[in-house]
Structure formats: structure tokens, C-alpha cells
């Protein structure tokens, strides 16, 4: 695998890891803001169905993207 290909795989994996971190950070931030400013209990803030819907899509997109890049990188290394 060339150096350019290694950089491309590394960049792709980092993008999907950042998306994964963004999803988890969104969940934590939303819960904290809802509890601090919204006069909502912890349980109500953590079980908000809209929050789950957004968070799950973002986290799964990041996770599957990372796993696909990792599998593709392994295939590229095995082809050599």
C-alpha cells in the first residue's frame, strides 16, 4: 500500500471516529442542558425519544463507517 493510500485510510477512519464522538457528545450535552436549564429530571432527559433517534443515527453512522474503512484497509494490505 502506498503512503498516499495509508493517509487516505487514516483520514477516513478519523472522520468516522469524530462522527462517533460527535454523537456521544451530543447526547451528553443535550442531557446536561435539559437538566440544568429545562427543569427536567435526569431520567426524563436521558429517555427523550427524539434524542435517542438523532444520537443512534449519528453513532451508528460513525461506527459502521469506521468498521468499513478498517475492513477495506485490511483487504488492501492483504492484496500486497
How do residues 23-76 score in pLDDT, each as one tens digit?
Answer: 999 999 999 998 999 888 888 888 889 999 999 999 999 999 999 988 888 888
62 contacts 20 by C-beta, under 8 angstroms? yes
Rounded-to-integer distance, Cα 59 and Cα 35, Å: 22
What is the pTM assigned to this prediction? 0.83
Amino acid at each position: 500500500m502506498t503512503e498516499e493510500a495509508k493517509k487516505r485510510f487514516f483520514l477516513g477512519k478519523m472522520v468516522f471516529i469524530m462522527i462517533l464522538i460527535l454523537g456521544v457528545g451530543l447526547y451528553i450535552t443535550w442531557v446536561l442542558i435539559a437538566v440544568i436549564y429545562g427543569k427536567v429530571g435526569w431520567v426524563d432527559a436521558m429517555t427523550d425519544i427524539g434524542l435517542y433517534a438523532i444520537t443512534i443515527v449519528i453513532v451508528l453512522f460513525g461506527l459502521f463507517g469506521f468498521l468499513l474503512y478498517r475492513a477495506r484497509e485490511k483487504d488492501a494490505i492483504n492484496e500486497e
